[in-house]
Structure 1
């Protein structure tokens, strides 16, 4: 897959999700959500779900799991998606290190 296909897929998923999402909760999730509601006292339960999605997304980005999965499924990274360009497009097809012929770069 490519960057263009990833963009199209994300846009399609965004449209499919819409404004509201019905989610079926298992017993453990309901219990954890009830505990979070009690402790954090949000105005609505929806706020906790939004926060959970943000935290999962942030964690997935920071640990590299998002890039790993995007590279496997679409052959791009999240940074490439955000910039709208692949690394090859940004570097003209070569990594900067390939242009350097310095055998001493790892010596102290």
Structure 2
């Protein structure tokens, strides 16, 4: 997989969401959401869900979990995704041919 594959998958997922997302909740999640809604008094429950997604995203970025999964699945990091190019492309490391050990020191 590559950076292009990641971009395609993200765009596909984004398009699939639309404006509404139906989520089923288990008993524990309902209880926690009800307590948060009562305590924080948001205008809509949707606001708490949006905050939860932001917090989960931030946590996975800060702990390196997102990079781990991106590297495992697409061989890129979040920084590479944001910049739109791989580290090798940024540094010019992909410009040079691979080294041939037999001919390395020949001029």
For Structure 1 versus Structure 2, the TM-score category normalised by the shorter chain is 0.7 to 0.9
Which aligned pairs between 1:32-51 and structure 2 lie closer than 5 A? 32-51=32-51
Determine whether 1:55 maps to 2:55.
Answer: yes
Cα shift readout 1:24-78 (whole Å, capped 9, x = no counterpart): 0000000000000010000000000000000000000000000000000000000
Structure-1-length-normalised TM-score = 0.85
Specify every segment of 5 or more residues in structure 2 that has no aligned partner in the other structure, as ranges: 95-107
What SS does the aligned partner of 1:29 have? helix
Which structure 1 residue ranges, 5 or more long, are not aligned? 95-108
2:70 counterpart residue number: 70
Partner of 2:4: 4
What residue is the counterpart of 1:101 in the other structure?
Answer: none
* Partner Cα separation in structure 2 for residue 61 and residue 19 of structure 1: 25
Give the 3-state SS of the residue equivalent to 2:39 in structure 1: helix
Q: CA deviation at 1:23?
A: 0.4
Count how many residue pairs are aligned between Structure 1 and Structure 2. Answer: 94
Instruction: Give, in angstroms, the shift of residue 93 of structure 1.
Output: 1.1
Question: How far is the alpha carbon of 1:22 from its aligned partner?
Answer: 0.4
Paired with 2:20 and 2:54, the residues of 1 have a C-alpha distance of 16
Q: Cα RMSD between the aligned structures?
A: 0.9
